[in-house]
């Protein structure tokens, strides 16, 4: 492109983007973007998913002076990573950019090369990935279904819901990871629907799934008390429930509300460790509290006692609790407040994306491990005493980045967030920052599928399942929102081979919660081992608890 044409192009691009996004901020008058015809909405981007350097250069040259280098907006000029343009299809944007709207001060872009127009749209789609905390590109349910219908099978070792099946063993290694933004970042959040008539969780032959409890209000983490009762956090209602026993048809024999008035409770544990606890500890989103407790209590025998403050929301709000086997230390997981905000310049990230350590009375707080974006579930290996963590990693770097993971947590260990990930890969949104930390990044024991949303985990200590399951990890995968074709929505098994150590592989264990790429009916959250050796799995999608037992040989 000649210099004079380049200058004209820059002026047109800048003017057009400004007009486009000022107009996009006005109330919508119809369901299409600026009355775009249906044919425009259906038009496909022939360069979809490509992110050449020229697109970024075009943006920086033509648009950044008004809209900011990361699309954050300046003054009264709107951000490009937000607004209705992000909800428009590529075809609608292309139609509007090409046609223009002179009545609203936007010139047509027909003078731009066609590929250049499409590539600028591609760059627009990833602006949310380049700006910390900015929104993702949303897909409607219809668009999500069409995406999966047209998508080819995923390239191993990556997968999606169409290929998740009990017994399938997976292993992802560092060499399998793609480059950042190899694909666009999608916002394919699940639309929950009632369980279809013939739908049921799927497990391997020899195992059986029963509905243990239903009609709950956002059942989240579940833990087994030393006497065999099951405590469940209903985070939305601020309640703690307790269930007792298993009937002949796999249902709860008794249930009670143990306590109410909690602040988004999640973590549950019993202290001191062993058969005769005196307290039950609860992880609120902003604090750790405890109730006096004796084995068999179905109601709290006294008011909650405040033990420690922990960083409150916004962002990741779950707080899990574990104790060392000797009972001398309490561990509390605290997720980040954001996707990738830099703690150096963001005070709200202080003591977040960490596992914190306390004395059991709440004193002597310190950071046990850091750079763990969102350690949702904590567990202690009952044989080795090692602390383990189930982690949600960052979003908006593409369909297959960054992997979630399960790992043992080393004291003083650094796990990368937000500057690095997976053993020394730098997040491009923090390019050049903290080079001294690169060699300190710990690669996790088990690299899970990106965007699985791994939540609670537990070690299998029962005797009901076959012997090869003894000591293995089970983890609940809540399911993706930041992926064009969804993944997760299952219970997985991490075999430790009776050694206490993982070799990197994991197995689909219980699946079947996805209807299609736009709709799901169930989302596993918590998992615990019952006294009889069966598993209980909470599901905040169908508001249920499932029981998995082994009946085969």
- For residue 13, the model assigns a pLDDT of 42
Cα torsion for 321, 325, 328, 330, to the nearest 10°? -10
Distance CA 99, CA 494 (A): 54
Question: Looking at residue 28, what is its pLDDT?
Answer: 35
Cβ proximity of 506 and 129 under 8 Å = no
The C-alpha torsion from 287 through 291 and 296 to 299, rounded to 10°, is: -100
Residue ranges of domains in the chain: 3-138, 161-179+206-244+373-550
**pLDDT for residue 84:** 67
pTM: 0.79
The span from the CA of 308 to the CA of 351, in Å, is 13
Residue stretches of the chain with pLDDT short of 70: 1-31, 49-87, 103-106, 125-138, 553
CA 38 to chain centroid: 34
Each residue of 298-320: b (16+ CB within 10 Å) or e? eebeeebeebbebbbeebbbbbb
Q: State how far the Cα of 296 lies from the Cα of 482, in Å rounded to an integer.
A: 42
- Token pair 């939540």 is found at 455
Backbone angles phi, psi at 246, to 5 degrees: -135, 120
Backbone angles phi, psi at 423, to 5 degrees: 70, 40
Residue 142 has a pLDDT of 87
* Tens digits of residue pLDDT in 310-355: 999 778 999 999 999 999 999 999 999 999 999 999 999 999 999 9
Query: Is the bond preceding residue 285 a cis peptide, omega within 30 degrees?
Result: no
pLDDT of residue 113: 84
* Whether the Cβ atoms of residue 388 and residue 473 lie closer than 8 Å to each other: yes
Provide the 3-class DSSP secondary structure of residue 144: helix
Statement: 3-138 belongs to CATH 3.30.1050: no
- State both tokens at 173: 């290694």
Q: In what order do the strands lie in the sheet with 375-380?
A: 375-380, 387-391, 403-408, 446-450
Kind of pairing, strands 535-539 and 544-550? antiparallel
- Give how far Cα 147 sits from Cα of 65, 141, 236, 252, Å: 35, 10, 32, 40
**Residue with the two structure tokens 């990693």:** 393
* Dihedral sign of CA atoms 229, 527, 186, 353 in order: positive
- Measured N-to-C along each axis, helices 3-24 and 53-62 cross at an angle, to the nearest 10 degrees, of 80
Q: Read off the tokens for 397.
A: 């770097």
* Sign of CA pseudo-dihedral 402, 490, 240, 481: positive
- Which pLDDT does position 5 carry in this prediction? 42
Residue 478: exposure state from Cβ atoms within 10 A (0-12, 13-18, ≥19): buried
The pLDDT tens digits of the residues spanning 45-77 come to 887 756 555 666 666 666 665 555 555 555 545
Calpha distance 245→292 (Å, rounded) = 22
Q: At 119, is the secondary structure helix, strand, or coil?
A: helix
CA gyration radius for the chain? 25
| Cα dihedral 300/305/309/313 (nearest 10) | 30
Give the DSSP letter of residue 116.
Answer: H
CA distance 72 to 418: 19
Nearest to 401 by CA among 82, 190, 186: 186
Give the per-residue pLDDT at 411: 98
Q: Which two tokens stand for residue 328?
A: 């001398």
- Beta carbons within 8 Å of 168's beta carbon, 6+ residues apart: 507, 508
Rounded CA separation 311/346 (Å) = 13
Per-residue pLDDT, 240: 98
Q: Are the C-beta atoms of residues 291 and 268 closer than 8 Å to each other? A: no
Alpha-carbon span 163 to 250, nearest angstrom: 29
What one-character DSSP code corresponds to residue 226? T
> What's the rounded Cα separation, in Å, for the pair 155 and 178?
11
Phi, psi of 102 (to 5 degrees): -60, -30
């Amino acid at each position: 492109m000649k210099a004079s044409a380049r200058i004209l192009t820059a002026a047109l691009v800048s003017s057009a983007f400004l007009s486009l996004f000022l107009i996009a901020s006005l109330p919508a008058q119809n369901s299409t973007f600026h009355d775009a015809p249906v044919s425009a909405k259906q038009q496909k981007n022939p360069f979809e998913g490509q992110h050449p350097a020229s697109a970024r250069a075009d943006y920086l040259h033509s648009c950044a002076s008004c809209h900011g280098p990361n699309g954050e907006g300046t003054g009264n000029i709107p951000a490009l990573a937000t607004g209705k343009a992000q909800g428009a299809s590529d075809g609608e944007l292309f139609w509007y950019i090409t046609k223009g709207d002179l009545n609203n001060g936007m010139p047509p872009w027909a003078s731009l090369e066609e590929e250049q127009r499409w590539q600028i749209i591609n760059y627009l789609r990833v602006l949310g990935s380049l700006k910390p905390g900015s929104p993702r590109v949303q897909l409607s349910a219809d668009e999500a279904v069409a995406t999966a219908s047209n998508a080819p099978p995923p390239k191993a070792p990556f997968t999606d819901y169409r290929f998740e099946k009990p017994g399938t063993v997976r292993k992802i290694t560092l060499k399998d990871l793609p480059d950042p933004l190899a694909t666009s970042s999608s916002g394919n959040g699940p639309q929950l629907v009632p369980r279809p008539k013939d739908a049921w969780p799927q497990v391997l032959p020899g195992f059986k799934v029963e509905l243990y409890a239903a009609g709950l209000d956002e059942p989240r983490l579940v833990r087994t008390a030393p006497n065999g009762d099951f405590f469940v956090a209903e985070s939305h209602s601020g309640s703690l429930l307790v269930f007792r026993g298993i009937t002949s048809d796999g249902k709860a024999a008794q249930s009670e509300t143990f306590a109410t008035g909690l602040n988004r409770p999640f973590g549950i544990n019993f202290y001191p460790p062993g058969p005769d606890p005196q307290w039950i500890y609860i992880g609120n989103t902003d604090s750790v509290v405890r109730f006096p407790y004796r084995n068999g209590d179905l109601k709290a025998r006294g008011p909650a006692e405040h033990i420690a403050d922990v960083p409150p929301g916004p962002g990741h709000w779950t707080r899990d609790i574990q104790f060392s086997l000797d009972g001398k230390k309490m561990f509390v997981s605290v997720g980040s407040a954001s996707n990738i905000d830099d703690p150096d310049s963001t005070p709200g990230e202080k003591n977040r994306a960490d596992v914190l350590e306390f004395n059991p009375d709440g004193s002597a707080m310190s950071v046990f491990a850091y750079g763990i974006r969102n350690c949702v579930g904590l567990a202690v290996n009952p044989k080795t005493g090692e602390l383990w963590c189930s982690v949600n990693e960052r979003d908006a770097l593409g369909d297959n980045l960054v992997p979630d993971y399960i790992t043992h947590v080393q004291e003083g260990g650094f796990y990368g967030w937000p500057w690095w990930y997976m053993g020394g890969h730098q997040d491009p949104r923090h390019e050049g920052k903290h080079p001294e930390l690169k060699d300190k990044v710990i690669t996790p024991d088990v690299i899970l599928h990106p965007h699985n949303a791994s939540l609670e985990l537990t070690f299998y200590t029962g005797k009901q399942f076959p012997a090869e399951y003894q000591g293995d990890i089970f983890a609940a995968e809540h399911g993706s929102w930041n992926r064009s074709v969804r993944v997760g929505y299952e219970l997985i098994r991490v075999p430790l081979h009776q050694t206490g150590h993982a070799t990197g592989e994991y197995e689909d264990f219980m699946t079947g919660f996805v209807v299609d790429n736009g709709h799901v009916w169930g989302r596993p959250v918590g998992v615990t081992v019952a006294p009889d050796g069966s598993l209980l799995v909470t599901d905040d999608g169908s508001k249920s608890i499932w029981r998995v037992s082994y009946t085969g040989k």
